[in-house]
Structure 1
Amino acid sequence: MTVAANAPEHGVQEPPEPDLTPAEIIARAEAIAPALVDRQEETERRTFYAPDTHEAFREAGFYRILVPRRYGGYEFGMETFLRVSMVLARACPSTGWMYSLGHAHALAVATLFGERAQAELFGAGDFICPATVGPSGTATYGPDGGWVLNGTWNYCSGAPYASHFLGHTLVSPRDGLPPMPMMFVVPRDQWRRLDDWGRQLGLRGSGSHSIAIEDGRVPEHFTLPTHLSQIDITTGTPGRVLHGNPEYGGGPLSFMLLNSAAIVVGMAQGALDAYEELMTGRTTVFPPIVPRVQDPDYQYWYGEASGMIAAAEAALLHAIRQWRETCAEGPAAFTRERDVRLATISREAARLCWRAVEGHLFPTAGSSAVRQGERVERVWRDMSTLHSHAGFAIFLSTLANRELARARFGLG
């Protein structure tokens, strides 16, 4: 990711480690990962990752990866962020999900909001901002300007350590037209986290709690009259101009869904890691009794799953490259057709990973390996829960196909 040429002139602060590189921050994730594997059960009980894990992420710079350089961030870009997310999800799916969906929306804020809003929202450097796309609650325009928000927003992954929240609500235009979506970012002091997560089938430690706002006040420059999934960026974005960085002008829809796919690929890689341990540490059930690694059937099941997961990772990484290259082409290149087409790649990557885990690793791992709390069982639960995520279950399975065809054939 290219650092904006005008950052020194307007910079607010330097990042804590100005010479840190993308390779070094990915290596830090890989160094932290083994401890996350050992703490998965603890994370599920707590419903979010531990305070000392949060502090380790903060010290490693994970909450600044997508924050613009001029605001004390590292501005490392999409690929670095998704690689870190994949490493963490491979170790602990809940931790990877919570971290990734907590920090991802720094890119949306840096892309879509104006300079005044960004300077205030990124003022602390670290940025953790869960988001929901389902409109909820109410917003009324205050007499002194700005909006007053009330309501509850569910599934806010990353809420426990969040500095902000990005949500949607419906507002009625002053000319009497039907209600329209409004996107807003609200600071932490204007909302509270509810204790309502942890009883789901999977992702129990993902910190996906609800957020309640009671008479929360949001200045107008923290709002946009749109929905995050429907933004047209072909005429340019405030972030591209402000930071001189093409990646702050990319399609937010495809980025969000490729982000989810990166977590799924990481989950599947973690299941494969666990299966490898079973291959070398356990024997076959039926004669000849030999180590599983020497058995042709287990070799076949491992090879099938490994190939699917590798193909999913390859598709994801190539889609990331396409996303970056499209950004570099200029605003007009990132049409709705391209945005949705890239999003559908995330669907296929997720499907490959699910086929590998559900069709090969889970059923052949053995009943003792899929007891509650075992690593393969946990990944199966977490990936099963992912099937209920609106992005995959609703948008990518139906709406995206129709929208891509309409865009391709100019049907409006």
Structure 2
Amino acid sequence: MLTSELLDLNTELVEKARSLVPRLRERAKETEQFRRIPEATIKELKESGLFYILRSKRFGGYQTNMRTYTDIVTEISGGCGSTGWVVALCCLRELMISESFSEKTHQEIYDSSDDIVFAGVFEPRKIKVKKVEGGYIIEEGYWPFCSGSLHASWGYFGMPIVDEEGNIIDQGLITLPMSQVEIADDWHVMGLRGTGSNSINMKDVFIPEHRVVSFTDAINGKFQSTHFRDIPLYNTALFPALAMSIGVPGLGMAKAALELFMEKLPNRPAANLSTQYLSDAAITHHQAAEAALKIETAAMHFYQVADNLDSSAASGEYMSKFDRVKALANIGYAVQACKEAIDILVLATGSAYVGNGNPMQRIARDFAALYTHRTVSPITSKENFGRVLCGLTSSTKNI
């Protein structure tokens, strides 16, 4: 349950996010055209503190919770899917850094600059690592789809942990300044164009030992952040929180699609129907109601996960494997409900949808890019939950 202090902070931050929506919509064309978030938006996100909602108070953040995070990401995504996606992932990376790494690493990061934003990718497509004295050398590495890469100062990446003979002994997480990586200009896509999700290349980069942690330990709640153990936020289950960062922007997009449809509906003529206006047609009533109820269903699932993450973190007990698997099923189910709602609204919009300047098309394209992310796959997440319900183990190990 939120304290009155946290409720007041939630209200303040959500209102800040909501106030940005008109400007985000005005900049949507620019965001897509230049394949990055406009600097004016980045400046507003920093000045409003919305990039720092999951940062610890010790290092200048708001140290909120997943409920507040869900509210804020939903609002921003309703203004611009790409911006909501970047805020969702950059803030979540901050949580992951805060949970996973030691006090020494945190001090190194936050002492390095007053302007810290995180981006990162867990799974490398290609990597060659060598164990050396005091750490590791990434001789070469390639990570695609690093959302927010153009605005980040520190990175968070997955890396195999190897021994002196080169044998892989664990999966690791690393953090390093983005000045040590090469950002490719290769984000040419149909949806979420403004996220700047470019590929990252590394060559002969040294990663000191204290900036390498076990991903296996982290997903099971064995965090190196011993100095944060008394802060509930930093006991949040890592993998479900990551899945939330990918799924929740879809809720904002779906809400925006419904809002846009209802705004355009009055006085729209009805073609090939028995009514003069579309708003008087029974088919429109069914479509609007069905879309609205699916969006409401999605919201209930997302907020259930957020509240369960927060209550589990506050209890001092790390979320159980069963509850983590169920959380991913809830998220996948919510994403599917959002997709179905948007599909209904696209059909109800009619042929105007095909125009490149139509905002409904941008929303649908952005959501389509989100929907393909395997972390929030409705099919995989339901299968895994069903396996666990039937007494089997999940087929996805990283939960």
TM-score, scaled relative to structure 1: 0.87
Cα deviation, residue 127, structure 1 = 3.7
Look up the SS of the partner of 2:123 in the other structure: coil
Task: Name which of 151, 156, 167 aligns with 2:146.
Answer: 156
Q: How does 1:7-406 map to 2 (within 5 A)?
A: 21-123=9-111, 124=113, 126-135=115-124, 136-143=126-133, 145-149=134-138, 150-174=140-164, 177-178=167-168, 180-197=170-187, 199-226=188-215, 231-233=219-221, 237-239=223-225, 241-242=227-228, 244-331=230-317, 333-358=318-343, 360-393=344-377, 397-398=379-380, 401-402=383-384, 405-406=387-388
CA shift digits 1:275-296 (9 cap, x unpaired): 1122125221125453322222
Q: What is residue 9 of structure 1 aligned with on the other side?
A: none
Q: Which stretch shows the higher mean deviation, 53-62 or 34-43?
A: 34-43
Cα deviation, 1:304-363, whole Å, max 9, x if unaligned, reads 1011101111221122111111112223x51211111111100000000101111x1111
Q: Distance in 2 between matches of 1:148 and 1:218?
A: 6
More divergent stretch after superposition (129-138 vs 396-405): 396-405
* Alignment check: 8 A CA contact 2:145 2:198 kept: yes
Residues 60-117 of structure 1: CA distance to partner in whole angstroms, max 9, x if unpaired?
0012111111111111122222211111111111111122112211111111111111
Tell me the distance in 2 between the aligned counterparts of 1:129 and 1:277: 36
Is the contact made by 1:264 and 1:383 (CA closer than 8 Å) also made in structure 2? yes
Distance 2:223 2:249 in 1: 27
Distance in 2, matches of 1:113 and 1:181, equals 15
Q: Distance in 2 between matches of 1:76 and 1:328?
A: 12
8 Å contact kept, 1:67–1:127: no
1:240/1:255 CA distance change after superposition, 3 Å: farther
> Share of identical aligned residues, percent?
23
- Deviation track 1:214-235 (CA, whole Å, cap 9, x = no partner) reads 222222111113358x7211xx
Q: Which runs of 5+ in 1 are unaligned?
A: 4-19
How far apart are the structure 2 equivalents of 1:184 and 1:114?
A: 12
Q: Give the drift of 1:408.
A: 7.1
Q: Distance in 2 between matches of 1:105 and 1:367?
A: 40
The residue matched to 1:285 in structure 2 has which SS?
coil
Distance 1:400 1:122 in 2: 39
Q: Distance in 2 between matches of 1:111 and 1:172?
A: 23
May I ask how many residue pairs the two structures share in their alignment? 388
For the residues of structure 2 that align with 1:366 and 1:405, how far apart are their CA atoms? 41
Which range is displaced more, 83-92 or 116-125? 116-125
Distance 2:22 2:371 in 1: 27
Contact 1:63/1:127 (CA < 8 Å) preserved in 2? no
Q: Which amino acid aligns with 2:292?
A: S
How far is the alpha carbon of 1:141 from its aligned partner? 2.6
CA contact (8 A) 1:202 1:378 kept: yes
Aligned partner of 1:41: which letter? Answer: K
| Residues 1:185 and 1:303: Cα distance change in structure 2 (over 3 Å) | same
Q: Answer yes or no: is the 8 Å Cα contact 2:269–2:276 preserved in 1.
A: yes
Moved more, 55-64 or 379-388: 379-388
Residues 186, 218 of structure 1: 8 Å contact kept: yes
Q: What secondary structure, in the 3-state scheme, does the structure 1 residue paired with 2:254 have?
A: helix
Change (3 A) 1:250 1:270: same
> In structure 2, what is the Cα distance between the partners aligned to 1:125 and 1:66?
16
Partner SS for 2:56: coil
Question: Do 1:106 and 1:127's aligned partners in 2 also have CA atoms closer than 8 Å?
Answer: no
CA distance in 2, matches of 1:260, 1:22: 21
Partner of 1:366: helix, strand, or coil? helix
Structure 2: give runs of 5+ residues left out of the alignment.
395-399
